[in-house]
Amino acid sequence: MASVVFLVAPGGSLKGEIRVPGDKSISHRSIMLGAIAEGVTKVRGFLEAEDALATLAAFRAMGVKIERSENGELTIYGVGKRGLVGAKESLYLGNSGTSMRLLSGLLAGQKFSSVLTGDDSLSKRPMTRVTDPLALMGAVIGTTENGTAPLYIEDMPSLKGISYEMPMASAQVKSCLLLAGLYAEGETCVTEPAPTRDHTERMLEGFGYSVKREGGQVCLTGGGELKGTEIDVPADISSAAFFMVGASIAKDSDVLLKHVGINPTRTGVIDILKLMGADITLSNEQVVGGEPVADIRIRSAELKGINIPEELVPLAIDEFPVLFVAAACAKGQTVLTGAEELRVKESDRIQAMADGLEQLGIDAKATVDGMIIQGAEEGLSAGKVDSHGDHRIAMAFSIAALRAKGNIEIDDCENVNTSFPEFIELAASLGLMVKVSTDG
């Protein structure tokens, strides 16, 4: 199969204003909850990318009518909590860990069995973190010997609520158990060791479902109904992060990112960049459909290395590939600890980024739960890196070229379409000098 290669010329600056595509996490959840709600749900700003479209296709296969119109607008005709029907074939979820983990909870209490499959990368990701607590609720889910997909979910029309203390902070595990809790007798409570994104809780409330939140615990009682609603999906801060770092590290840059979601469980990337000395200002702050949004302006700044506070790690877990690039361009040393979760993402993001940065002349040492990076103010060298089929690594190294001495070539970039199909077009519109070719 042909491989997509990004070739990025060195230098330049980023200037202009853009709106990055809709938030991936919220796009997934809008379909899942809209499908099992009573009545019609209308969604604006839906992310038209492979991961979210995998969720959409799964619910269509389970009998839900979903109409797509231009510009990311969806109309979902909810079938109610008990209205889904078993798919005729296994549900293929591509590269989307969110789809698989959240669907395993939603499908664990249905009156039909399901099989969830994914691509090679997704089939290596750990699933026992959701199947083990679901089993405590009475679910019966088979995995491979390694605890990975395919997942074989047996019909189990009645689950029982549990109180579960998560061993590690994971919004996907929390959301999976809350979705299963909708189908459980009694109360389901999840306690997290550190705050994680709370889109599921906010959206459940938007659909009229009662959720109790206190400290690090979230509880809901099974048996209620969701009512169709309207959802306006904000621009994805994880996608915006590439341009935040790019504008920070490239001289004479000035970028305005419009209508970005600034949910407090997701703004770790802003906090970390500000600690490094980034020039970031927020304006036009408002709440749209229960989610806070703002316009974010970023101008060039001299970044300095820092010890990244561990309490910010869960709030920036998806942004670390590009934050490592910021660290490589900063003055002094940056140390990340407490981020072992990065080893089981679409790739081992710690090792893949350390290897790639070393290829580009940066002293980057992978540790068990993070990385130690010595910043090189003079920038990165030219080179060729492998994204390991990981969309965020491909985009992070594209941004690194803004401070490189020569071309950076990035292999295996086709999975950028899973989260950000317009990345190349928007990056080029701001001034990144990037070309795409297919190899093979």
pLDDT tens profile 86-97: 999 999 999 999
Residue 203 has pLDDT above 70, yes or no: yes
- What CA–CA distance (Å, rounded) separates 337 from 249? 23
- What CA–CA distance (Å, rounded) separates 433 from 367? 33
Token reading at 415: 């999975």
- Read off the pLDDT band of 419 (50, 70, 90): confident
Handedness of CA 188, 194, 200, 206 (dihedral sign): positive
* pLDDT for the residue numbered 165: 98
Beta bridge partners of residue 287, listed in sequence order: 292
* pLDDT for the residue numbered 2: 65
* pLDDT for the residue numbered 288: 87
* pLDDT for the residue numbered 52: 95
- What CA–CA distance (Å, rounded) separates 152 from 116? 7
Token reading at 270: 């802003």
Residue 1 has pLDDT above 70, yes or no: no
Handedness of CA 394, 398, 404, 409 (dihedral sign): positive
Least confident of 67-71, 187-191, 209-213, 348-352: 67-71
- Read off the pLDDT band of 440 (50, 70, 90): low
Q: Are 423 and 238 in contact (CB under 8 A)?
A: no
Handedness of CA 351, 352, 357, 359 (dihedral sign): positive
Token reading at 4: 């997509």
Domain 3-22+234-439 carries which CATH code?
3.65.10.10
3-22+234-439 and 24-232 share one fold: yes
Q: Which fold has domain 24-232?
A: UDP-n-acetylglucosamine1-carboxyvinyl-transferase; Chain (3.65.10)
**Over the stretch 16-26, which tens digit does the pLDDT of each residue have?**
999 999 999 99
Average pLDDT, the chain: 96
* pLDDT for the residue numbered 6: 97
- Report domain extents, the chain: 3-22+234-439, 24-232
* pLDDT for the residue numbered 36: 98
Residue 389 has pLDDT above 80, yes or no: yes
**Over the stretch 249-288, which tens digit does the pLDDT of each residue have?**
999 999 999 999 999 999 999 999 999 999 999 999 999 8
User: Per-residue pLDDT averaged across 381-396, rounded?
Assistant: 96
User: Above pLDDT 90, what percent of the chain?
Assistant: 94
- What CA–CA distance (Å, rounded) separates 43 from 226? 16
Q: Which residue has the tokens 């899973």?
A: 418
* pLDDT for the residue numbered 268: 97
User: Per-residue pLDDT averaged across 172-194, rounded?
Assistant: 97
Residue 326 has pLDDT above 70, yes or no: yes
User: Above pLDDT 70, what percent of the chain?
Assistant: 99
Which among 16, 17, 8, 46 is positioned nearest to 30, based on CA atoms? Answer: 46
State the catalytic residues.
318
pTM here is 0.90
Residue 70 has pLDDT above 80, yes or no: no
